[in-house]
């Protein structure tokens, strides 16, 4: 079964450093998403991306965050200057259309630790 692949699985970074989280969505999917889950809390929507631009973003997705699809297969989330409170699991997801059928597939996540 097709999978959404995220790398790295765990990243440790110094506060103030830039990080790039990478995702390879399912190949025939057109909509891409990033979610965040702070430890012990619920999963929160960050941003959706379609046709090479942001479709929707939450209030969490401020100027420190950016997304990009640099080469037609990867989908990246960049945090420009990391803060301690950015420590969380970051999940990428994709769908074939802007609707949930046939499925909304999550990657296995990247655990970001900011020290």
Contact between 68 and other proteins by CB under 8 A: the answer reads no
DSSP state of 60: T
Contact between 22 and other proteins by CB under 8 A: the answer reads no
Contact between 26 and other proteins by CB under 8 A: the answer reads no
- Selected binder of other proteins within 5, 22, 45, 113 (CB under 8 A): 45
Contact between 100 and other proteins by CB under 8 A: the answer reads yes
Distance, in Å, from the CA atom of 33 to the CA atom of 104, rounded to the nearest integer, reads 10
Check if the beta carbon of residue 54 is closer than 8 Å to that of residue 91.
no
Check if the beta carbon of residue 49 is closer than 8 Å to that of residue 37.
no
Size of the site for other proteins (CB under 8 A): 30
């Amino acid at each position: 079964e097709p999978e959404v692949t995220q790398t790295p699985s765990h990243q440790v970074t110094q506060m103030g450093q830039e990080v790039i989280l990478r995702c390879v969505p399912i190949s025939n999917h057109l909509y891409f998403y990033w979610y965040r889950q702070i430890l012990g809390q619920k999963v929160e929507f960050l941003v959706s991306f379609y046709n090479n631009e942001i479709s929707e973003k939450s209030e969490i997705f401020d100027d420190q965050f950016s997304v990009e699809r640099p080469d037609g297969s990867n989908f990246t989330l960049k945090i420009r200057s990391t803060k301690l409170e950015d420590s969380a699991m970051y999940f990428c997801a994709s769908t074939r259309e802007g609707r949930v059928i046939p499925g909304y597939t999550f990657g296995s996540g990247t655990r970001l630790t900011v020290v």
